[in-house]
């Protein structure tokens, strides 16, 4: 079991009198990168400052490692494609034996055998005194010493070419393409990560990366190793396992090799988080600190929208001028929401929206500071940069809640949504109206684009009960909440 590193020291180590960033290079790409670890001295002995500035170096090192892993993966995928094409020819020739001449079979066998021999020979070393095998009385002799990993890869190539094995990710790109537009970008990114972690584990365990190799027992073994491989908690690991299960369900319609889903029922158990370890809403004091701090104008506007609409970050960043009317904002349906919804504009939000809409066309972005991702094939959402910028700002003004052993802070941009919901309830707004404003399913009220004027007036009155803490010099008071806290051990 690897030593657990406190979250505040993750990717950091003390070198002399200053902290430095350090990331381990996976064994598979150490030959490409030329190092077993990537390091950069941060020039500070302050752990707090080191945590604030380490991010860009961590991202740079990760990109370098991902690029090297992609190079290794591309070579493996090329061999898999080659073997799959040979397997397709054999399958077709077997189904239609009359259309294939005997000499074509000889060419196929020669091609498969020669290619497998080339793969087995990769990295082989010539020895003048090759060690004699057990029972060989002739003593040492000259010859080639083959690498075990190359022998495994050559044998695997033979299995795939003969139709006895199917590469795990042979149709994953097709799966992602089919799901594009049906699943959120972050879910597709989880699919890609889950497959990458699975292939990484199979390689480390010297298990052929074939569908036929994934048994129920191996699925459970991978699940146990996943938190360490991916550096995530049980909840995130279970999300990746769920994505693999979805891929197998899709594959079952395409190939008999995936007829049995080994991921069904495979999940990590774990203690449920205590109440004081769950992600939470901001306090009034934290909202005041965030909105009164040295934020950029566009970050301040983003936070105002989050606090006074309860909308999710990705929906806010995607807003266009045409989504804003004189009385309400139309938010696009996301997650389990079935229709777009209207949220009345809070009086304190009107100046922000008027300034953002001034001089723009209806199709223009409300937040051009965070444009859509331009990289073709990227599965990052448009809100990715905004989220990172907010996290950096939040930490800079001292709004954080880190629990040892948790990767994420207990507060994030979604905490504005939680604050919005809680403060409306404290202001006496009925649960059905709160649910309608934030797009929750439960409740009998729906604030869709066909809502009548009277309902929107009631919703506007409910929204108007919100007060931004300290905005007009008012005292910042926290609601009294009965909470029992257990001492952390």
Contact 87, 161 (CB under 8 A): yes
CA pair distance 25, 33, nearest whole angstrom: 8
Mean pLDDT, residues 177-202 taken together: 86
For residue 78, pLDDT beyond 60: yes
CA pair distance 425, 416, nearest whole angstrom: 14
For residue 483, pLDDT beyond 80: no
Looking at residue 1, its pLDDT comes to: 37
pTM of the shown model: 0.61
Token output for 31: 């030959």
Q: Which residues contact 152 (CB under 8 A, 6 or more apart)?
A: 206, 208
Looking at residue 4, its pLDDT comes to: 46
Nearest to 279 by CA among 415, 433, 148: 415
CA pair distance 155, 38, nearest whole angstrom: 34
Domains of the chain and CATH, by start: 7-68 (no CATH), 172-258 (1.10.150), 277-463 (1.10.443.10)
Percentage of residues of the chain with pLDDT beyond 70: 82
For residue 272, pLDDT beyond 70: no
Contact 213, 164 (CB under 8 A): no
Looking at residue 136, its pLDDT comes to: 52
CA pair distance 196, 69, nearest whole angstrom: 10
For residue 177, pLDDT beyond 80: yes
CA pair distance 358, 361, nearest whole angstrom: 9
CA pair distance 207, 215, nearest whole angstrom: 11
Q: Label residue 484 by pLDDT band (50, 70, 90).
A: very low
Which segment, 14-23, 268-277, 305-314, is predicted with the most confidence on average? 305-314
User: Across the chain, what does the average pLDDT equal?
Assistant: 83
DSSP 341: E
pLDDT digits (tens, 9 = 90+) for 326-354: 889 999 887 767 678 889 999 999 999 99
pLDDT digits (tens, 9 = 90+) for 41-75: 988 888 888 888 888 888 888 778 767 765 655 56
CA pair distance 66, 52, nearest whole angstrom: 23
Of 136-140, 210-214, 402-406, the poorest mean pLDDT is in 136-140
């Amino acid at each position: 079991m690897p030593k657990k590193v406190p979250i505040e020291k993750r990717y950091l180590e003390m070198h002399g009198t200053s902290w430095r960033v350090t990331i381990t290079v996976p064994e598979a790409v150490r030959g490409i990168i030329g190092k077993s670890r990537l390091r950069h001295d941060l020039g500070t002995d302050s752990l707090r400052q080191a945590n604030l500035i380490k991010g860009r170096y961590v991202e740079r090192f990760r990109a370098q490692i991902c690029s090297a892993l992609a190079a290794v993966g591309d070579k493996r995928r090329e061999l898999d494609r080659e073997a799959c094409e040979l397997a397709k020819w054999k399958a077709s020739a077997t189904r239609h034996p009359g259309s294939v001449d005997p000499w074509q079979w000889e060419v196929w066998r020669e091609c498969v055998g020669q290619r497998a021999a080339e793969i087995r020979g990769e990295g082989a070393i010539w020895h003048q005194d090759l060690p004699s095998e057990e029972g060989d009385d002739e003593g040492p002799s000259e010859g080639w010493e083959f690498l075990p990993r190359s022998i495994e890869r050559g044998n695997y190539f033979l299995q795939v070419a003969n139709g006895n094995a199917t590469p795990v990710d042979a149709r994953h790109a097709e799966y992602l393409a089919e799901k594009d537009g049906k699943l959120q970008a972050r879910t597709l990114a989880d699919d890609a990560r889950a497959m990458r972690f699975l292939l990484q584990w199979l390689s480390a365990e010297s298990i052929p990366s074939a569908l036929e190799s994934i048994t129920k027992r191996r699925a459970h073994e991978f699940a146990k190793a996943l938190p360490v491989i991916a550096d995530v908690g049980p909840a995130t690991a279970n999300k990746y396992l769920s994505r693999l299960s979805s891929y197998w369900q899709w594959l079952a319609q395409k190939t008999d090799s995936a007829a049995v889903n080994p991921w069904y029922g495979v999940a990590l158990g774990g203690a449920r988080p205590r109440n004081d370890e769950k992600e939470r809403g901001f306090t009034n004091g934290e909202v005041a600190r965030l909105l009164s701090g040295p934020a950029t104008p566009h970050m301040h506007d983003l936070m105002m929208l989050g606090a006074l609409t309860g909308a999710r970050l990705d929906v806010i960043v995607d807003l266009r001028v045409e989504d804003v009317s004189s009385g309400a904002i139309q938010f696009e349906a996301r997650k389990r929401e079935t229709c777009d919804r209207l949220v009345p504009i809070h009086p304190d939000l009107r100046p922000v929206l008027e300034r953002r809409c001034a001089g723009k066309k209806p199709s223009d972005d409300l937040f051009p500071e965070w444009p859509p991702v331009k990289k073709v094939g990227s599965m990052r959402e448009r809100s990715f940069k905004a989220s990172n910028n907010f996290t950096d700002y939040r930490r800079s003004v001292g709004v954080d809640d880190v629990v040892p052993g948790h990767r994420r802070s207990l507060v994030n941009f979604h905490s504005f949504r939680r604050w919005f919901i809680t403060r409306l309830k404290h202001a006496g707004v009925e649960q059905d109206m709160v649910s309608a404003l934030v797009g929750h399913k439960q409740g009998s009220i729906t604030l869709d684009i066909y809502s009548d004027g009277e309902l929107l007036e009631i919703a506007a009155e409910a929204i108007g009960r919100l007060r931004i803490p300290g905005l007009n010099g008012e005292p910042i008071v926290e609601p009294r909440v009965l909470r029992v806290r257990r001492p952390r051990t």
